């Protein structure tokens, strides 16, 4: 079940245009908890950069 969740989060992030974590690692190298964190941080970072 965790692997399915990982793949869903990766797909969601890739559809938003994110392919790397903030630390530069590929999304498929991250754990589920790391992906959950990136799912929140990456869009927030983009909002800050656009402001």
Contact 37, 45 (CB under 8 A): no
- pTM of the prediction? 0.84
Contact 35, 9 (CB under 8 A): yes
Contact 9, 36 (CB under 8 A): yes
Contact 10, 28 (CB under 8 A): yes
Contact 31, 23 (CB under 8 A): no
Q: How would you write the pLDDT of the chain (51 residues) with one tens digit per residue?
A: 899 999 999 999 999 999 999 999 999 999 999 999 999 998 888 777 787
Contact 35, 10 (CB under 8 A): yes
């Amino acid at each position: 079940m965790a692997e399915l969740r990982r793949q869903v989060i990766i797909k969601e992030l890739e559809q938003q245009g994110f392919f790397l974590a903030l630390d530069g690692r590929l999304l498929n190298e991250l754990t589920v908890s790391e992906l959950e964190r990136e799912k929140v941080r990456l869009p927030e970072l983009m909002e800050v950069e656009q402001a």
